[in-house]
Every structure is written in structure tokens, then in C-alpha cells.
Amino acid sequence: MAGDGSFFPEIQPIAFAGPESDNVLSYRYYDADEVIMGKKMRDWLRFSVCYWHTFRGNGLDPFGKPTINRPWDDGTESLDNALRRVRAAFEFFQKLGVDYYTFHDVDVSPEGATLQETFDNLDKVTDLMLELQAKTGIKLLWGTANLFSHPRYMCGASTNPDPLVFARAAAQVKKAIDVTHKLGGQGFVFWGGREGYAHIINTDMTREMGHYAQMLKMAVAYKKSIGFSGQILVEPKPREPMKHQYDYDAQTVLGFLHQHGLYDEVMLNIEPNHTQLAGHEFEHDIILTAQMGKLGSIDANTGSESLGWDTDEFIVDHARATLIAKAIIEMGGFTQGGLNFDAKVRRESTDVEDMFIAHIASIDALAKGLRNAVRLLEHGRLPAMLKQRYAGFDEGLGKQIEEGNSSLEALTQHCLDNDTEPPVLSGKQEKFQAVFNHYL
Ligand code: XLS
Ligand code: NI
Ligand code: NI
């Protein structure tokens, strides 16, 4: 084990035990090295544990104090505590059997009295992370800079009205890209929690968005200058903490990237709980970006229909997991992204084993989703039904429209020459839903 195996003495490495297993500390559907549709399950799903919830979450909520105390964490911001936490984290990743993890700079290492001291701390902690990566084979999916917790960022980081705050954010981004590169990370995420506003009356939106685009351009330029080959990602979210956030949803971000000439440089990291907050259904932004070739990675979580905030719950629903897996397979799998559990145990789930059970249950749901999606796609019935629905665009008049070879005049003439109402074609939603359920 990564450390001396002493952080989780009660937990054995989690193994595949098959669908009949009633052991919640085993996998029923996730058999990492099993090849399905030409790829190992681990390579289709590329599971990742996030550091912030799983190793820094303590159950604090706006109404109550922390509920969760971990035996390896003494609650201080000392370097020793940070280093011990890293050892616990790697043992957790290893026992769970995931290949990847993600982190913010401030999750892993304490901020110092000066910027230089903060950088030095991060160097020391990432040295240990690099050592444990080499020892365990666990890899960094992506890194990021936390540009939202510190009070200096209360009015935004890249969109702050004060250029000195922008500069400070830039320094933090540069360092976070440096350590991500050092650790061989496959991506770098921008989640703009404070990039938005609390009231429009004191906000110049177009200036702020322009500044944000400049930050992304600097990151792209810097990435190229140091030979960092990971993807730069933006993670949309419509609100929380700000009342309005600029990266509202996937379509908004894609339009923003286009506007600023960043479309080909930046991918999207989609979190379904954020998609739900934007008023869409869970799967909407994943399917949209997957089809457009812009789905870089997924923050695998879900919200509660009855709650209006980012509850970051683990996905356990097989239908939803199947929709995600289908989108991943249809885009040919991830290249540098994965399924990152940006999810937390409930504040009432205070046992150490709950950390394992939560991840195992979600890994298994997504693995079941993958198996379902493979059957659905290999069987071909649902894809054929979908293709049939649009068959009119495969030939003749439809093809001319789709390929841009028609005009209002030509179509008017066509309608006058064939002056009858188009036939009524059923949308067949219930049939599609019924067939989809065959594969769950
Ligand atoms: C918060 C975000 C955050 C990002 C990383 O809602 O999901 O956790 O994934 O900064
Ligand atoms: Ni996220
Ligand atoms: Ni979130």
C-alpha cells in the first residue's frame, strides 16, 4: 500500500465479486480489466476521486458545524497534517482500485503567509504526491486552482474589478498549472464560482467576460509554452455561490469560447448537478457536448429534484448511468478525461467506511450503466429507431436542406407543386422509453 497500510486497516482492497454479491464492500458490476466493446472497463470509465470532498469535506453546512472527523486529520493547517492526508488519500485510491484523482491547489497544501511560502508548500506536498503516484501507478486526471474560497476573490478572480486581484489569480493559475504538469495531469479545470455577479447594477458584464477570456488565453499560451499536453477545461454552472455565473451552461460556454476565439483550445468539464441547476435535465449537457465533440471530462454527481442547490450526491440510478455511458461510448470514449466523483457523503454519513461504500455504489452503478449501454448499442434497435425518425433528411429534399443546398424560394416552389399537408408522424416517445427500459 501507498503508506504503511495503516489508515484503513479494516478495509481490504475492493474486489469484483459479481452481481450476486451482497457485500457492499465489493463490486458487483465493475470488473476493471474486463474487456467490453473492445476496451477494458477501467479505460471506458476512467474513474477519479476528488480530493476536496473526500479528503477535505467535513460535513459543514450553512446551519451546522462539521460532523465528520477523520482519524488521520488533526484539523490543523500544518504541513505535517497535509502530508499525512496525502498518504491516506493514496491508500484510499489504491484500495478502491481507481486509476485517477483530482485536486485544487489549496486542498492539498496549506496557504503560507506570503505567496512564495504558499508556492513552497505546494512544491513540498506535490513532491510526495509524485512519489506516491510512481509507487502506486495512480495518475492525476486534472488539477485546478481554487479561485473562490479566499476573501480576496469575493468579487471574482478573473472577473474582479481590480486588476491586482486578477494578477493574483493569474499567479495562482500559473503555479497550479506548473504542479499539474509536474504530476503528469491530463487536464486543468477552470470552474468560475465567483466569476459572475450578485447584482447587475454594480457590474459591467461585457468587461468582466472579456477579462475572463483573457485569463483563459493566458492559460492556453502558458500551457503551450511549457509543453503541457493536458486539456484546458471550463466547468459550467449557472449560480451558487454567485447569483449569476457567466459559465451558465454548456451552450453558453460554447458560445463564449467561439466569441473569443477559444473554441478549439478549450474543452468542457460537465457536472450533471450543475446542468440541473441551469434548469435542464441531468443528462442534457453531457449528451450535447459529447455529440459536439466538446465533452472533455465529467464531474460525476447528481442533485436532488426537491432541492435547488449543488448537493453533489453520488450517482446510483441505473437509468441515468446508462444515459451517461451511452454518450461516452458514442463519442468513442474519453481521451484525457474521465468520470471524476465530485460528490460527497452526506453530513450524517460519518463513518470511514461510508467513504468507500459511497464510491463503490456509484462506480458500480456507472459500470452497470456501461454494460446496459453496450447491450443497447450492440442490439441496435434504439439507434435504428432514432435514425428512422430523421430518415427524411437522408435523401432528396431533406438532404438538400441539411447540406445547405436549398432556399426559401426552392422550398416554396416545392410546396406549391405538391400542395398537400405533410403526413402526421408520431414522435413515439413512449415507445422509445419502453425500449430503453429493456436494457436496464
Ligand atoms: C463546484 C464545482 C467544483 C469544481 C472544481 O460546484 O463543482 O467542485 O468541480 O473547482
Ligand atoms: Ni465540479
Ligand atoms: Ni459542483
Task: Map out the domains of the chain as residue ranges.
Answer: 35-379, 382-437
Please report which residue ranges of 338-395 form alpha helices under DSSP H.
Answer: 352-379, 381-389
Return d(Cα 251, Cα 292) in angstroms, integer.
10
8 Å CB contact between 353 and 11: yes
Average the pLDDT over 133-151 and give the result.
Answer: 98
Which residue from 49, 51, 52 has its CB within 8 A of the most atoms of ligand 1, so it is best to mutate?
Answer: 52
385 Cβ partners below 8 Å, 6+ apart?
428, 431, 432, 435
The answer to whether the CB of 142 is under 6 A from ligand 1 is no
Give CA angle at 123 (117, 124), nearest 5°.
95
Read off the pLDDT of each residue in 300-307 and give the average, rounded to a whole number.
Answer: 92
User: Nearest residue CA, atom 4 of ligand 1?
Assistant: 191
Q: Is the shortest distance between the CB of 235 and ligand 1 below 6 Å?
A: yes
pLDDT value of position 305:
84
Residue nearest to atom 2 of ligand 1 (CA): 191
Whether residue 180 has pLDDT greater than 70: yes
CA distances from 411 to 90, 389, 416, 417 (A): 63, 21, 9, 10
- Is residue 104 annotated as a catalytic residue, yes or no? yes
Ligand 1 mutation target, pool 299, 311, 314, most atoms within 8 A of CB: 299
- Mapped onto helix, strand or coil, the DSSP state of residue 139 is strand
Task: Using the mean position of ligand 2's atoms as its centre, give its distance from the Cα of residue 224 in Å.
Answer: 25
How many angstroms does the Cα of residue 148 sit away from the middle of ligand 1? 10
Given a cut of 50, whether residue 5 has pLDDT beyond it is: yes
Is the CB–ligand 1 distance for residue 237 below 6 Å?
yes
pLDDT averaged over every residue in the chain: 97
**pLDDT tens figures, 251-301:** 999 999 999 999 999 999 999 999 999 999 999 999 999 999 999 999 999
Which residues lie across from 189 on neighbouring strands? 144, 233
Is the pLDDT confidence value at 142 over 70?
Answer: yes
Question: Quick one: pLDDT band at residue 306, thresholds 50, 70, 90?
Answer: confident
Question: Which residue's CA is minimally distant from atom 6 of ligand 1?
Answer: 310
Q: Name the pLDDT band for 243 (thresholds 50, 70, 90).
A: very high
Q: How many whole angstroms from 440 Cα to the centroid of ligand 2?
A: 27
Ligand 1, residues 50, 144, 191, 240: which to mutate, most atoms within 8 A of Cβ?
191
Instruction: Give the residue whose CA is nearest to atom 3 of ligand 1.
Output: 191
Among the listed residues 81, 82, 56, the one whose alpha carbon sits nearest the alpha carbon of residue 69: 56
Q: Decide which of 3.30.40.230, 3.20.20.70, 3.20.20.150, 3.30.70.260 is the CATH code for 35-379.
A: 3.20.20.150
From ligand 1's centre to the CA of 342, what distance in Å? 7
CA of 317 to the centre of ligand 1 (A): 21
Q: Can you read off the three cell numbers belonging to residue 424?
A: 402526421
Percent of the chain predicted with pLDDT > 90: 98
Give how far Cα 59 sits from Cα of 53, 89, 157, Å.
9, 18, 26
Chain centroid to CA 212: 20
Dist. CA 344 → ligand 3 center (Å): 10
Q: How far is the CA of 191 from the centre of ligand 1 (A)?
A: 6
Nearest ligand by distance to the CA of 298: 2
Element (H, E) at 131: helix 115-136
User: Which residue bears the cell 408522424?
Assistant: 425
**Mean pLDDT within 303-314:** 92
Q: Is the pLDDT of residue 137 over 70?
A: yes
Average pLDDT over every residue of 366-377: 98
Q: Is the peptide bond before 238 cis (omega within 30 degrees of 0)?
A: no
Name the residue of 271, 274, 298 whose CB sits within 8 Å of the most ligand 1 atoms, as the mutation to test its pocket.
271
Give the ligand at the shortest distance from the Cα of 239: 1
Cα 224–chain centre separation = 23
Atom 10 of ligand 1, nearest CA residue: 191
Q: How confident is the model at residue 1 (pLDDT cuts 50, 70, 90)?
A: very low
Strands 35-36 and 339-341: unpaired
User: 29 pLDDT exceeds 70?
Assistant: yes
Per the CB < 8 A criterion, the answer to whether 302 and 273 are in contact is yes
Torsion of CA 146, 295, 334, 282, to 10 degrees: 90
Percent of the chain with pLDDT strictly greater than 70: 99
CA distance 130 to 113: 25
Tell me which of 53, 104, 181, 274 is the catalytic residue: 104
Give yes or no for residue 285 CB within 6 A of ligand 1: no
Q: What per-residue confidence (pLDDT) applies to 2?
A: 47
CA dihedral 271, 276, 278, 283 (to 10 degrees): 70
Residue 144: CB within 6 Å of ligand 1?
yes
Give the atom of ligand 1 at the shortest distance from the alpha carbon of 340: 9
Residue closest to 345 by CA, chosen among 335, 336, 355, 353: 355
Strand, coil or helix: what is 339? Answer: strand
Residue 328 has pLDDT above 50, yes or no: yes
Close Cβ partners of 35 (under 8 Å, ≥ 6 residues apart): 41
Q: Is 203 exposed, middle or buried (0-12, 13-18, 19+ CB in 10 A)?
A: middle
